[in-house]
Homo-oligomer: A and B are copies of this chain.
Amino acid sequence: MTDQRRIAGLPGLGEIGLGNFAPYLMNRIMGRYNASLRADLAGLGLTTPKMRALAVLSVIDAPLIRELAVYAVVEQSTLSRALDQLAGEGLIQRETDAGDSRATRVHITEAGRAAFGAIWPQMAAAYARMFQGIPEDERRAFVATLQKMLGNIRKHDF
């Protein structure tokens, strides 16, 4: 089967090797990163979608919910429910868009910024561990490649 595939012109996962297949490595790394963070978040009454919404909102002002869903990498229905909770806890506010009453803009509150501030050190620590021993120029090249990849994904919209 593997041989058939290769003859057809498409190298199989076996030929590439798990440890050389970038999407595998990225899932593996982010799986750990996210699982680690989730444990920390639980102690603060946060979930991954809630934290991601706060993270984006700490940087982007008053996006529409559908934009926030893209930035935060959360399904819109999941985000909708996460925002219910965040609003109930006073960490964000929803406001109907001025020019389009279907749409909703989301604002972070001071309490929301404080909540994100409380987890940021753990995120930064996980980040630091991840890149430990990797020199600055290599980090920059890595991020530059990621940015190209994001551009590709956006363009092709998958």
Find residues 3-29 in chain A having any chain B CB closer than 8 Å to their own CB.
5, 10-14, 17-29
Q: Mark A101-115, 1 if CB is under 8 A from B, else 0.
A: 000000000100110
Q: Among the listed B27, B117, B129, which residue makes an inter-chain contact with A30, where contact means beta carbons less than 8 Å apart? A: B27
Q: Mark A28-72, 1 if CB is under 8 A from B, else 0.
A: 111111101000000000000000100110111000000000010
Can you show 25 pairs from A to B with CB atoms below 8 A apart? A10-B121, A13-B59, A13-B120, A18-B59, A21-B127, A22-B139, A23-B123, A23-B126, A25-B147, A25-B150, A26-B26, A26-B29, A27-B73, A28-B150, A29-B146, A29-B153, A31-B73, A32-B73, A33-B158, A126-B158, A129-B152, A132-B152, A132-B156, A134-B145, A141-B145
